[in-house]
Structure 1
């Protein structure tokens, strides 16, 4: 959930910098443009793909999307690399998987819509005890933990 929020927050951050046509448009036009960009962002987030061999440090890729008037993806290109070919490929695959996108509002009159989307891959986190549960201090302590679990989780 935390990752979705961070990715969505970063993507919405780029949406805040509206193009010139949206700044001069009526408030309703601005709202529909922002709502459409949110839909595009949500569509991308829903198709997030993590590569198996993701680097420990994660990264952010910037991808240029070119859409037509119906929301179909015309092309996508990597504008800024994460520094990892696996993450860059995953970012482009995510865009391909998300297509087609929602149809843009009528207020946006451009034929080829260009959007730059940041795709954030959060760094892997590892547990201090190497991914397994820490050992119990003693058999008595483990018995107490087991008894507590049985009392909480009846029938599990």
Structure 2
């Protein structure tokens, strides 16, 4: 949400408040890049069948001047076919992308982005299971206590 808030602040700056055309161009390019990042992030979805898996897939993609997806490919695998496929679907779901400002050169329409997938471990008191190492450690503690206090 902080990224989106920052985006709104940048777009709210009146054009007369910018000092020169180079600064204005940089701001419009930066805003465009932020819009793409926000769109990608909002379309990332963890595949339910990949529960317990994590990794980072790198995806290459290219867009045209109208924001249409031209190509996409997996540049680096996460080690999971499910996560790799989810990363490619994220790119597809993000189309159409925002149209680039006029000052963006054609080579800036090619992207390589890392897509990180991490599972959140559910805590035992929230319906999850205790981690196995905790269970084993608790068994050791229970055994020691029973050995010390037989009649307690």
Instruction: Determine which structure has the larger helix proportion and give its number.
Output: 2
User: What does 1:19-58 align with in structure 2 at a 5 Å threshold?
Assistant: 26-58=22-54
Summarize deviations over 1:110-147 as a string: whole Å, max 9, x none: 1771011111112331323682599xxxxxxxxxxxxx
Q: Which runs of 5+ in 2 are unaligned?
A: 4-20, 131-152
**Aligned with residue 115 of structure 2, among 101, 115, 119:** 119
Larger radius of gyration: 2
Q: 3-state DSSP class of the match of 2:26? A: helix
**Structure 1 residue 105 corresponds to structure 2 residue 97:** no
1:17-96 superposed matches below 5 A: 26-96=22-92
Q: Distance in 2 between matches of 1:34 and 1:111?
A: 16
Partner of 2:49, secondary structure, is coil
Taking structure 1 as the reference length, the TM-score comes to 0.63
Could you say which structure has the greater relative contact order, defined with CA pairs below 8 angstroms and 6 or more residues apart? 1
Cα deviation 1:72-120 (Å, max 9, x = unaligned): 0001111111110000000001110111100001111317710111111
- State the distance in 1 between where 2:108 and 2:128 align: 51
